[in-house]
Amino acid sequence: MDRNIATLPIRCFDSGKAAEAQDLVAVEEPLQISVDGRDLTVTMRTPGQDKELALGFLFSEGLLQRPEQVESIERHERGGIDIRLASGVAIEPERFARNFYMTSSCGVCGKASIDALRLACSPDLARDYPRVSAPTISALPERLRMAQSVFDRTGGLHAAGLFDAHSGELLMSREDVGRHNAVDKLIGAAFFGKLLPLDRHILFLSGRVSFELVQKALMAGIAVVGAVGAPSSLAVDTARRFGLTLAGFVRGKRFNVYSGAARVEGAVGTES
């Protein structure tokens, strides 16, 4: 059985009748992330792409900027991931003192300030680039859904997909029990592949959009984010502050644009 799927005995009730059965559930386990042997954070995640997850987290938190800063990334004896920095590269001690703790549901607790994000990255997004057509946005949910292999078997994972903004082609996708983990895995893969910034791409999410997901998109240079679900008020405020295009409730041929409508071809009027 795959490491990210577990088989559990259950008691199934149907039309008043009960029976013993087996069910597949998504695995959720802790992952310790360390830098040069020093523990940095623990995240509850679905196993798989752990190295990408670690790199994506450190990049989106502003702790890493370039792949050349990493000498090696290995699994240590406790089963976690240890990132060894290149010679002359160091993370400030106070960064470790922050004592990060991540959960599969809420992301990095305590990072709820647009001002903190502005100080961390000050992203400079082109106002009307990339241009994205409404049909392209409408097609994203189905294209992402077709790539959700673990969700098909468990029904218990979030997904994040990276799409070409012009063609709408799915370039890569990741699944995880945590929304922010799925995005970190994508960003980590792009970081490792030297593809950043992702200024020609769309980030599409299978669920809702919270502040930390907009934060991660901005750190990666992504200017267009869409989702099947709703954005939070802070996600919208952040998108508007930095000029990011944010689309929510993308279902069928309908969707809402909460920020950055100028990038959507066919949009009429301007946002206040």
Residues recognised as catalytic = 106
The first and second tokens of residue 89, run together, are 């590269």
Length of the chain as a residue count: 272
Given a contact cutoff of 8 angstroms between Cβ atoms, the answer to whether 82 and 73 are in contact is yes
| 3-class DSSP state of 209 | strand
**DSSP three-state, residue 153:** helix
| Alpha carbon distances (Å) from 167 to 36, 65, 135, 161 | 41, 28, 10, 14
| 142's tokens | 């189905």
Strand partners for 35: 38, 83
For the record, the structure tokens of 247 come out as 């689309």
**What's the sign of the alpha-carbon dihedral 208, 183, 66, 245?**
negative
3-state secondary structure 1-38: CCCCEEEEEEEEEECCEEEEEEEEEECCEEEEEEECCE
Q: Answer yes or no: are the C-beta atoms of 50 and 201 closer than 8 Å.
A: no
